[in-house]
Amino acid sequence: MDINIKNLKKQYENFIYPKPTEDIDKDYIQKKKALLSDPYYFWHRLWPEKPLIKKGLKILVAGCGSQQASILAHFNKKHFFTAVDLSKTSIDHNYKLKKKHNIQNLNLICEDFRNLKFEEKFDYIISTGVIHHLEEPDTAINCFQKNLTDLGVIYLMVYGSKESRPISEIKKVFNMFGFDQNKKSILQGKNIINQLLPDHPVKIFSNKFYDKNYDEGFVDLFLHKHEKFFSIKELFSLIERNNLMTKNCISENISSGYRYFYDDEEMSKKFKQMKLEDQLEISQILNWSDRKIIITCCKKNLGNRSIIKMDLNFDELYIFGIRGAKYNFSKTAEGIIIEINYKKEKFKFLFNKFAGQDLVKLFQGNIKVSELTKLLNIEESVKFKQTLETIYRCKLLDISFHPVNNL
């Protein structure tokens, strides 16, 4: 076992992370909360080209932490989960949840997942906040690629390189003082951060995250011994050199750069003509809030299944609002205006010739776009789909080729 793996194992056995739930029903089901990696509620982001499969998937959670696998298995009782983690403390807590909720479809293993030889390949592999802690992230991605079925999907979350910059800087200070993962260093580190001016980048960063408020979270946030922060181009390169390709970009903070240009004809045209990687890099820089970058990947030979690279025909799609956004429809002399309120920003788009109720149904994913465009002449249909495409490029709506399941 190399020194980095020893450090990781020691950290997560002494400081269990994330702060675990004691009751999945109370903290998730009753509150109608679902993990973004959930294959039922977010199927449309994993396999937008396929109808929902409710049972029989073989799922690997690689680096499952204290609760992720148990939550997913409890929500998806007819799929089969294998969960692996270095930390015995984390695995033990999953066992506790498994027993409490009588979870029968979860196999737990305390090990480095790269060392295991699995009997079967997996339809879905989940890796959340794992590979950026490895000395060689390629070893993990290669492991995923080899253990993925031909039509399988990988859900991957890594830390981004922009918003995380203050961590690198404050760690220099902590390292100069010889801070370690212990109570004394945690207390001294918190005292330093508490004294920073309100506009200090580290203060601004730490105020965004609940993790700073408890010891285990503080260690993971500020005293981690090894972590790499990715630019979107570095992440794409990592994926492609391991015979995979990016299928979908789940993080709207990495894919929503078009919001800055959609109402400027010249700039929006230039933006759309850029390579995808350049568009995403612009989004990463302008939005900056890239602490978590989430993408999905598939085998390289499945280029026609990459939702972010294919040319979309909106007539074939179901569309629906994104979580956290509010959609208001109002009639005017010009037509129907949709106002979208999302993260303290307001966006307005105009649709002609439509009754508000039709648009409401459309944005709820109840009808296919073609159900409305077939009522229009060619010019009206083109305009309507262009407006939908603009909203989608701004990442203010979601799409699927099939009806969608929402909480």
* CATH number of the domain that residue 280 is part of: 3.40.50.150
Do both 156 and 233 map to the same domain? yes
Higher pLDDT, residue 53 or 359: 53
Residues 56 and 179 in one domain: no
The per-residue pLDDT for 323 is: 86
The answer as to whether 355 is a domain residue is: yes
Mean pLDDT of 108-133: 98
Domain final position from 251, 273, 305: 305
pLDDT of residue 406 exceeding 80, the answer is no
- Cβ atoms of 248 and 48 within 8 Å: the answer is yes
pLDDT attached to residue 141: 98
Q: Is residue 187 part of a domain?
A: yes
Would you say residue 251 lies in a domain?
Answer: yes
Considering the domain architecture, whether residues 70 and 144 belong to the same structural domain is answered as: yes
Q: What is the pLDDT of residue 301?
A: 84
Quick one: pLDDT at residue 357? 62
- Does residue 405 lie within any of the structural domains? no
State whether 10 and 34 are in the same domain. Answer: yes
Burial of residue 301, with CB atoms counted within 10 A of its CB: 0-12 exposed, 13-18 middle, 19 or more buried? exposed
Per-residue confidence band for 84, with pLDDT thresholds at 50, 70 and 90: very high
261 and 205 both lie in a single domain: no
Shared domain for 142 and 246, answered yes or no, is: yes
- Asked whether residue 89 carries a pLDDT value surpassing 90, the answer given is yes
In a domain, 120, yes or no: yes
Residue 360 pLDDT exceeds 90: no
Instruction: Using pLDDT thresholds of 50, 70 and 90, give the confidence band for residue 405.
Output: low
Taking phi over 0 as left and psi of -120 to 50 as alpha, with beta for the rest, 232 belongs to alpha
pLDDT band at 358; cut points 50, 70, 90: confident
Q: Does residue 355 carry a pLDDT above 60?
A: no
Q: How many domains does the chain have?
A: 3
Task: Please determine, for residue 1, whether its predicted confidence score (pLDDT) is greater than 90.
Answer: no
pLDDT at 205 > cutoff 60: yes
Residue 64 and residue 140 in one domain? yes
Together in a domain, 262 and 343: no
Residue type, 157: M
% of the chain surpassing 70 pLDDT: 98
What confidence score (pLDDT) does residue 310 get?
85
- Tell me whether residue 406 is in a domain: no
pLDDT, residue 96, reads: 98
pLDDT of the residue at 83: 98
Q: Is residue 407 part of a domain?
A: no
Sheet holding 318-321, edge to edge: 364-368, 318-321, 397-400
For residue range 226-283, list pLDDT tens digits in order: 999 999 999 999 999 999 999 999 998 899 999 999 999 999 999 999 999 999 999 9
The predicted pLDDT at position 366 comes to 82
Domain that holds residue 195: 165-222
Domain boundary among 265, 280, 305: 305
Tell whether 202 and 249 lie within a shared domain: no
User: Is-contact 152 123, C-beta < 8 A?
Assistant: yes
State residue 375's pLDDT score: 86
- Residue 346: inside a domain: yes
Domain boundary pick from 262, 282, 305: 305
Q: 16 and 72 share a domain?
A: yes
168-179 per-position pLDDT tens digit: 999 999 999 999
Q: Do residues 33 and 53 share a domain?
A: yes
Confidence of residue 334 (pLDDT cuts 50, 70, 90): confident
Question: Could you report the per-residue pLDDT of 295-305, keeping only the tens digit for each?
Answer: 999 999 876 77
pLDDT at 303: 66
pLDDT at 53: 95
| SS3 track for 207-276 | HCCHHHHCHHHHHHHHCCCCCCCECHHHHHHHHHCCCEEEEEECCHHHHCHHHHCCCCHHHHHHHHHCCH
State the CATH number of the domain containing residue 366: 3.90.930
Same domain, 277 and 206: no
Positive or negative torsion for Cα 305, 308, 311, 313: positive
